[in-house]
Amino acid sequence: MLSLTGAERLLLGPAGEGSGDLHCADGVIVEDAVQGAEVLDVSGCVVTPGLVNAHHHLFQTAFRTIPGTRGVPMAEWLPTMAAAYESTGTDPELGAAAARAGLAEALLCGVTTVADHHLTWPAGRTAASTVEFADAVRGAAEELHVRLVFVRGSAKDDPYAAGESAEAIAAHWFTVGDGGVTKDGMVQLAVGPAGVHSDSRETFDALAAVAAKYGLRRRTQANEQVDVAVAQERYGRRPIELLDEWGWLAPDVTLAHLCDLTDVEITRLAAAGVSATHAPGCDLPMGWGIAPVAALLDAGVVVGLGTSGGGSNDAGHLLADARLAMQVAPLVGRPIPAREVLAAATSGGAAGLGRPELGTLEVGAAADLCVWDVAGVADVGVADPVAGLLWAAPGRRPRHVVVAGRVVVRDGELVSGDEREIVGSLRKLLADRTP
């Protein structure tokens, strides 16, 4: 039980804004204070819903700023990263260590839900080994008390093996009818090929079959450099046309990146009810393009935000990427106001996950929230403290973070784990494996 008192501004979400107090009990937002609740004084602060990182690759946290991976075409980046994975090794031990570091970073940046599109699997890709790897990532999330959406991804996997693996993870974690979400809402499973550039229709079909059986969401990456080029070369068509033909334009599907879209394709996505994930902190610095977010929003497409992985972004700071999204929007459309971008970073990402209880602070919603201090020099003179979250202080981090009613970051320090131990463990593991 928790009460936050004296907030300068409460960004409630679709319900609007307010100020004053916010109360949590049994992991959800409640209307009135509960006797005996812990009280946090948040005067001089803006309180927002916890941020939803709708597209991450947590394993890449162990592979940041590798030589030969900055500002290069995706066709060069992909094999360079693959070689790094192979030389270091892909196994549950490294998967857990990388996930712990990436998830700790996420919490310290105000992210309370992370969608981990995992594409790199242990050698052999047996169903048993992929279950073990998925369990390792889930264990890291449960240790840190952060919401995890684990996406059983595929990158050139055998279609049968990909389907068998996804089925094994789903059967291990859930029963048919659960909808792929644990009862406490802390863990969710989805499926997602890397894209039409990487995976065949047979793989898309195999993963879709598992999704249909267990009620899982579907996710993939579309219309990046390699995706468009390979689709044109291999099929003589663009990715959106192929996804439509393969049954992957539907309300349960989220497409990440979408850097190269035509007006006709945007209309097609909107008509299909597809949601999108914008990852400007990856695509823009790498020179891979920038999604026409304003056009997508204006067409009625729900848009979330993601950082993508450490191999291309190097940071898991979703608020900084939200600021970047706001700043570059006029270059590919119209300006997007700060509140609209913040909505993408919260309720937009949650909608793409099929999780309406996330990304909002309305009564009955999950008690996931961030407390942002706006009383310091970085915010002095700011007329609108909500807009100032993005316009001012690009390196801003939250004072407190709460997940399911539990304080996991307090006064800027991780309390659900030992940050120094998390860093030391991953550093030692990488050092031991470096040739």
CA distances from 153 to 42, 192, 217, 239 (A): 40, 5, 12, 18
Q: Is residue 432 part of a domain?
A: no
Angle of helix 419-433 relative to helix 92-108, nearest 10 degrees? 140
Bridging pattern class, strands 217-222 and 45-49: unpaired
Considering the domain architecture, whether residues 118 and 242 belong to the same structural domain is answered as yes
Residues for the chain: how many in total?
435
| Reported confidence tier of residue 432, pLDDT bands at 50, 70, 90 | very high
Q: Count of H helices and E strands in the chain?
A: 15, 17
How do residues 23-69 score in pLDDT, each as one tens digit? 999 999 999 999 999 999 999 999 999 999 999 999 999 999 999 99
Please say whether the beta carbons of 429 and 422 come within 8 A: no
**Inside any domain, residue 309:** yes
Residue 77: predicted pLDDT: 92
Contacts of 56 by beta carbon, 8 Å cutoff, 6+ apart = 102, 106, 114, 115, 116, 117, 306, 307, 308, 309, 316
Which residues lie across from 303 on neighbouring strands? 276
- pLDDT tens string 242-271: 999 999 999 999 999 999 999 999 999 999
Residue 435 has pLDDT above 80, yes or no: no
Q: What angle do CA 380, 383, 388 make, to 5 degrees?
A: 75
* One domain, residues 206 and 285: yes
Identity of residue 212: A
Residue 338 lies in a domain: yes
Segment 143-157, tens digit of pLDDT: 999 999 999 999 999
What is the tally of structural domains in the chain? 2
Please work out, in degrees rounded to the nearest 5, the angle formed at the alpha carbon of residue 115 by the alpha carbons of 86 and 392.
110
Residue numbers of the domain that contains 21: 2-49+361-419
What is the 3-class SS of 97-120, one letter each residue? HHHHHHHHHHHHCCEEEEEEEECC
Across 120-129, 261-270, 362-371, 417-426, least confident range: 120-129
Alpha-carbon gap, residue 218 to 249, rounded angstroms = 10
Same domain? 325 vs 411? no
Domain termination residue (choose one: 310, 327, 352): 352
Q: How far is CA 24 from CA 190, 313, 413, in A?
A: 29, 34, 21
Average pLDDT of the segment spanning 226-235: 94
Is the pLDDT at 364 greater than 80? The verdict is yes
Q: What is the pLDDT of residue 124?
A: 77
The answer to the question of residue 429 being in a domain is no
- Domain CATH for 402: 2.30.40.10
C-beta separation of 356 from 350 below 8 A? yes
H helices present in 112-224, as ranges: 127-144, 159-173, 201-214
pLDDT tops 90 at residue 240: yes
Q: Are 404 and 94 in contact (CB under 8 A)?
A: no
Residues 208 and 123 in one domain: yes
pLDDT tens for residues 166-220? Answer: 999 999 999 888 899 999 999 999 999 999 999 999 999 999 999 999 999 999 9
Tell me: do 55 and 42 sit in the same domain. no
- Using the predicted structure, report yes or no on whether residue 333 has a pLDDT greater than 90: yes
392 and 287 fall within a common domain: no
Q: Are residues 23 and 132 in the same domain?
A: no
Domain end residue (candidates: 328, 352, 376): 352
> Is pLDDT of 125 > 80?
no
Q: For the segment 278-297, what is each residue's pLDDT rounded down to a tens digit? A: 999 999 988 899 999 999 99
